[in-house]
Amino acid sequence: MDYQYPISHHWSTEEIVDVIHFFQSIEKAYEKGIERSVLIEAYRRFKEIVPGKADEKNICNEFEEVSGYSAYNVVQKMKQAAPEEKIRI
């Protein structure tokens, strides 16, 4: 990983850690797969920190620009997956 995660200076240390955990979950979905329940938990926490759709889109687009991983594609697959399914892109 040769990039920095998009973060806001308005977030607390705990929130930064949780947002980074969400982005690491996206990476995991691309690299080896991740359990849907783990991804849902990370996404729900991310949405508590970034509740607005526009902010979510901006942050996820920043992440995609630097990493090449689309959070949108992973979240869409997560929403369509069966409860115990492993998410892999």
Query: The whole model's pTM is what?
Result: 0.94
Alpha helices by DSSP H, 1-89: 13-31, 36-49, 53-67, 71-80
Query: Is 42 a domain residue?
Result: yes
**Smallest Cα–Cα separation from 52: which of 5, 8, 4?**
8
Q: Does residue 49 fall inside a structural domain?
A: yes
Quote the number of domains for the chain. Answer: 1
pLDDT of residue 36: 97
Assigned domain for 33 exists? yes
Residue 81 lies in a domain: yes
Got the DSSP string for 4-21?
Answer: -----TTS-HHHHHHHHH
* 60 is a domain residue: yes
Provide the pLDDT for residue 2.
82
Per-residue pLDDT at 70? 98
**How many C-beta atoms surround the C-beta of residue 3 within 10 A?**
10
Class of residue 59 by CB neighbours under 10 A (exposed 0-12, middle 13-18, buried 19+): buried
DSSP single-letter state for residue 83: T
Tell me, yes or no, whether 4 lies in a domain: no
Residue 23: domain span: 13-87
Q: Is residue 6 part of a domain?
A: no
CATH number of the domain within which 45 lies: 1.10.220.80
Classify residue 62: in a domain, yes or no.
Answer: yes
pLDDT of residue 35: 97
pLDDT in tens for each of the 89 residues of the chain? 688 999 999 999 999 999 999 999 999 999 999 999 999 999 999 999 999 999 999 999 999 999 999 999 999 999 999 999 999 99
